[in-house]
Amino acid sequence: MIVCILCGNLMTQVHWTDQKRRYGESAEVEVGGQVQRDYVRERWKRIRILNVILSHYALEVRDWNNTQYIVADKKGNTLMGVNLEDIWSSAGRLAGRRIDPLDPSLIRYIKQKREFD
């Protein structure tokens, strides 16, 4: 593990859902420059898509310091996570039920929102 000298966060390997690489490319994380800008851009895009999905359950996702995610409900309850797996798990706990991405009502809801276009 690595500790960020600026914020004190423990940094581990980048989760596969946060990696944007092609077959055969290095899995090393590069800090700064265009790679970092692309990472942050993709992260915000992911958050926008997650918020469309999770709004069906009255939940939202926010970024914290480009290292963690905050999942919150309308009552102010929050849980933190570092990757997509954590977000999904936290959303299920806050919603009080399993979040099923193939739920027909969720799919209808997303089609009505049409925010992915």
| Residue 66 located in a structural domain | yes
5, 12, 20, 38, 61 from 9: Cα distances, Å? 8, 10, 22, 21, 19
| Residue 16 located in a structural domain | no
Q: Work out how many domains the chain is built from and give that number.
A: 1
Nearest-angstrom CA–CA distance, 115 and 87: 20
Helix (H, G, I), strand (E, B) or coil at 61: strand
Beta bridge partners of 2: 11
| Residue 52 located in a structural domain | yes
| Residue 104 located in a structural domain | yes
55-113 residue pLDDT tens: 999 999 999 988 899 999 999 999 999 888 999 999 999 999 999 989 999 999 998 88
Q: Judge if pTM exceeds 0.85.
A: no
